[in-house]
Amino acid sequence: MAGIVRKSFDSPEEVRPFEGGTGQLEVVDLDGELGRATFQPGWQWSKHVKPIAQTESCQSAHAGYVISGRMKIVMDDGEEAEVGPGDILDVPPGHDAWVLGQEPCVMIDWRGFAGYAKR
């Protein structure tokens, strides 16, 4: 048996900055990548990650928890949702998203950050 593994987002194994200094993703490897993303006000996937991903919309599936801030998510088919502190989300591939308001949106994602914003 492996035993206890302890890691911290204060010393992640990888940090992936978004375009234009609009935030970053901190990744820890815990038998799969777990990430904490900080999206600054003004961040939008189609402006700040699309140039890295080189896809028309985000093709990552996300399962996460919003710690702070608010975000709007719009699916390719037009379905929309807003998420905020305390919300748990499950978002399939094929979406755009952006920060709402003037507070950074911080979330933990345990499914969708394996290749997210990876150059």
Q: What is the CATH number of the domain that holds 21?
A: 2.60.120.10
CB neighbours (10 Å) of residue 31? 7
Domain contains 119: no
- Are the beta carbons of 96 and 57 closer than 8 angstroms? yes
The confidence band for 58, taking pLDDT boundaries of 50, 70 and 90, is very high
pTM for this entry: 0.89
The answer to whether residue 101 is domain-embedded is yes
In a domain, 9, yes or no: no
Residue 84, domain member (yes or no): yes
Position 1 pLDDT exceeds 70: no
Q: Is residue 82 part of a domain?
A: yes
Asked if residue 77 belongs to a domain, the reply is: yes
What does the alpha-carbon distance between residue 1 and residue 79 come to, in Å, rounded to a whole number?
Answer: 44
Eight-state DSSP code of residue 18 = P
d(C-alpha 30, C-alpha 7), whole Å? 8
Q: Are 97 and 50 in contact (CB under 8 A)?
A: no
**Residue 5 belongs to a domain:** no
Number of domains into which the chain is organized: 1
Decide if 69 contacts 83 (C-beta within 8 A): no
DSSP assignment, residue 19? G
In a domain, 118, yes or no: no
Least confident of 38-42, 65-69, 114-118: 114-118
Position 83 scores a pLDDT of 98
pLDDT class of 119 with cuts at 50, 70, 90: confident
> Where are any strands of DSSP class E within the chain?
14-17, 23-29, 33-39, 62-68, 70-75, 80-83, 88-91, 95-100, 105-109
